[in-house]
Structure 1
Amino acid sequence: MEESEVRELLTVEGLRLLDALPPYRSGADVVQLSSRLRREGHPPSLIAAVLTQARLREKAVAKFGPFASRMLFTAAGLEQATRLQVAARHAARFRDAGLMRVADLGCGIGGDAMALAALDLQVRGVEIDEVTAAIAAYNLAPFPGAEVVVGDAGTADLSDVVAVFLDPARRAPGHDSTTRVDADQYSPSLGTAFAIAEESPTGIKLGPAFDREEIPTGVEAQWVTVDGETVELSLWSGALARPLVRRAALVIAGDRVAELTAPADSEDPELRPLERYLHEPAGAVIRARLIGDLAGSLGAGILSDRIAYLTGSSISTSPLAASFEIDAELPIDERRIARELRSRGIGRLEVKKRGVDIDPAAFRAKLGLKGSGEATLILTRIAGRRTALIAHRV
């Protein structure tokens, strides 16, 4: 999105036209809508801008819920933006620590700054890109305690704030670019971010696959999984870090929330032969290396070295792990598995795999499924053997 498009969009006519559009649809409906808007005399540049925003708003519902209908976005900003329920938890850390004046460095479209401002914190967003800053200012306009300034997050004046939130840009420059860059190309740099965290209470949002060896000592590292997707690693320093917590796994599944915390990585759980249930830890638990603590809470052991499946005699009632009851154990042989599934009338099959080089979609396609039943097929290794487990979720 170019600056001229934003200027045109941020007018009374542009915003009214955007809000008057019907729900976004692809294909012919959008072509027809564009033709109608041209017949009504709207400039082509404004039509393109409002249709782009309508598409982004529809996509943003997954992160921002109903608030998306009153926000503006760039493609890159939406891609990196924090989900609303996670941003709210970020903001609560600052409020609970009594840190009421916060700089949001590299604020993007303002998602985290909105969550901070919604808790009556004074927040200053700093964004180097003028187009993105204008969009953030629009999104933050309802909050009198929030402001956005155009500037370099790495050199921002922090003398009048007491804490910092920092979400380094992890994508190539450009409002529509969603191409990720390597950690040494983050903006501001990781060195700058970590230096700020040493001086002030700071939250740093990173990708969940960030190299654990690069995590500074003395900070709390919290991985977050939302509805089955591991979405971020947040590092918390100073008063924002919880006492004696250096590793945390937060899992949000709908309205269910659970968390594991520990002072360090947990010890590996004991190896155990397959029992009645198999447990699949949430991604945040795996990333945080807290599988051993989870196994202890479930009375479970690990099924195979270096493969994150647990087994035990009782189910998990927490979103920290999904449980499957085992119905059959077979070698990984397509014909034998297909016969077993047919005998059980399985027509709908979820395929999971760990520790074996198999494409689940391609494997499923070869099984010739028929029937009204459903099951989960887990392809893995047990005691070094390639093993297929037919199971159902509990």
Structure 2
Amino acid sequence: MDRTELVELLSPASLRLLDSLPPYDSTGDVLKLVSDLRKAGHAPGLVSAVLSQSRLRAKASAKFGEFAERMLFTEAGLEQATRLRVAALHAGRFAGLAAALGHPPRVADLGCGIGGDAMALAAMDLPVVAVDADEVTATVASFNLAPFPNASALQADAETVHLADFDAVWLDPARRTSGHSNTTRLTRSEDYSPSLDFAYLLASRLPLGMKLGPGHDRDQIPVDAEAQWVSVDGQLVEMGLWFGALARPGIRRSALLLTEGGAHELTAGADSDDAPVGELGSYVYEPDGAVIRARLIGDLARSLDARMLSESIAYLTNDTLTPTPFASAFRVLETLPFDEKKLRLALLERRIGTLEIKKRGVAVDPATLRTRLKLKGPEAATLILTRVAGQRMALLVERVR
């Protein structure tokens, strides 16, 4: 969405038109809807703008639920926005500062994007000013924050904002190229905006929380920060860094899993030592991505009385099923030859036509291999390709629900 399209949207009549549209249906007759809107006298630019927003609102429901129905979005802003459930946890940390301060902390949200985190802060009755350098993005954030009297948005370079009146800072550096659609991920942290140097210097002055990508270089994590990796329904979504009073005492590594069943967390004061490598047992466990990134596999293994399948490979094994929210469990049915021809024959004998392939520690492309295996039959199975005590092995397993 560019400035012209945004101007088209922000009149009361345009917003009423947007809100009046039927639920977006990607399989529906979009051309007919466009034709109907044009026949009703709406300008082509406005029709394009409201239909784009209708599509983005439908897409945004996964992150914002019913709130998406009254929000505005840019393509890039939605892609980078924090899920509302995660943003609420961020906001909860800031709310925890109130007891020490004697009043709700005043929060600066630097690099606010479309305002998702600022909305969560404002919903907890925290005064928040959301800042973004891009004019369109800051305007969209202002619209989304309009229902909250304790929130406002400002267009400004985050590194120029005067912070004397604030008690804490939330910072979400831009990690993609500029623009509102078709952006690409920045591969060098020195290109982030605002810069990490600015963020770390600011963290020495004020309690600060910062959102980074889950694959961020761990060597750049300051020793005084709490690093928390978050996964939502098995999808790794972010690494949060927390400084000062926002960091929990004694915790420097955390894996937080948000599932339909609730929240589950592993914490530690540092990376955990890996468990010893041992023989293949009756069960194999695949740790959640947050546990792997936080390097808490060893702690998880000890809680399961499990051992590593192979050094530096994130699969665990034991002899007795131990349910855990921190890993997917698989029952080992049999070991199969790693040789592709023998594997194809073995799967053919077992009439396996649908195959989930998981792999770690071996150079195999699952999609390509699945095609070459020429699967046939009514049965479904899961195959784990990995190393056991350093040796390549194929494990036919069934997922434990």
Query: Do both proteins adopt the same fold according to a TM-score greater than 0.5, normalized to the shorter chain?
Result: yes
- Which residue number in structure 1 is paired with residue 210 of structure 2? 204
- Which residue number in structure 1 is paired with residue 266 of structure 2? 260
- Which residue number in structure 2 is paired with residue 245 of structure 1? 251
> Structure 1 residues 193 and 318, CA, compared in 2 at 3 Å: closer, same or farther?
same
Which letter maps to 1:289?
Answer: R
**Deviations 1:301-360 (CA, angstroms, capped at 9, x unpaired):** 110011110111233433211100000112212333333334434332211011111111
Bigger mean CA offset, 381-390 vs 311-320? 311-320
- Which residue number in structure 2 is paired with residue 236 of structure 1? 242
1:331–1:386 contact (8 Å) kept in structure 2? no
- Which residue number in structure 1 is paired with residue 91 of structure 2? 91
For structure 1, the residue ranges without an aligned partner over 5 or more in a row are none
- Which residue number in structure 1 is paired with residue 184 of structure 2? 179
Which letter maps to 1:22?
Answer: P
RMSD: 1.5
- Which residue number in structure 2 is paired with residue 25 of structure 1? 25
What TM-score does the superposition give when structure 1 sets the normalisation length? Answer: 0.96
- Give distance in 1, aligned partners of 2:233 and 2:45: 38
Which letter maps to 2:62?
Answer: A
Give the secondary structure class of the aligned counterpart of 1:4: helix
1:355 aligns with 2:361: yes
Query: Of residues 134, 140, 154 in structure 2, which corresponds to 1:129?
Result: 134
**Deviations 1:15-51 (CA, angstroms, capped at 9, x unpaired):** 1111122222337722221122111110111111111
1:293 aligns with 2:294: no
**Paired residues, number:** 394
Which letter maps to 1:238?
Answer: G
- Which residue number in structure 1 is paired with residue 119 of structure 2? 114
1:152 aligns with 2:166: no
- Give distance in 1, aligned partners of 2:147 and 2:68: 14
Query: Of residues 116, 140, 143 in structure 2, which corresponds to 1:138?
Result: 143
- Which residue number in structure 2 is paired with residue 307 of structure 1? 313
- Aligned-pair CA distance for 1:2: 1.5
Give the secondary structure class of the aligned counterpart of 1:178: coil
- Give distance in 2, aligned partners of 1:133 and 1:365: 47
Which letter maps to 1:65?
Answer: G
Give the secondary structure class of the aligned counterpart of 1:391: strand
- Which residue number in structure 2 is paired with residue 47 of structure 1? 47
Give the secondary structure class of the aligned counterpart of 2:314: strand
- Give distance in 2, aligned partners of 1:143 and 1:385: 59
- Give distance in 1, aligned partners of 2:94 and 2:195: 23
**Deviations 1:196-245 (CA, angstroms, capped at 9, x unpaired):** 11110000100011111111121100011112221111000011100100
**Deviations 1:90-142 (CA, angstroms, capped at 9, x unpaired):** 01111123252111011110000011111111111011111111111111111
- Give distance in 2, aligned partners of 1:138 and 1:372: 53
1:12 aligns with 2:9: no
1:257–1:319 contact (8 Å) kept in structure 2? no
**Deviations 1:268-296 (CA, angstroms, capped at 9, x unpaired):** 11111100110001111111111111101
2:132–2:158 contact (8 Å) kept in structure 1? yes
What TM-score does the superposition give when structure 2 sets the normalisation length? Answer: 0.95
Bigger mean CA offset, 103-112 vs 376-385? 376-385
**Deviations 1:33-78 (CA, angstroms, capped at 9, x unpaired):** 1122111110111111111111111211221122211111011111
State the percentage of identical aligned residues. 58
Equivalence map 1:47-66=2 (5 Å): 47-66=47-66
Give the secondary structure class of the aligned counterpart of 2:204: helix
- Give distance in 1, aligned partners of 2:322 and 2:109: 38
- Give distance in 2, aligned partners of 1:171 and 1:24: 28
Deviating beyond 6 angstroms after TM superposition, the runs of 4 or more aligned structure 1 residues are none
2:278–2:389 contact (8 Å) kept in structure 1? no
1:77 aligns with 2:82: no
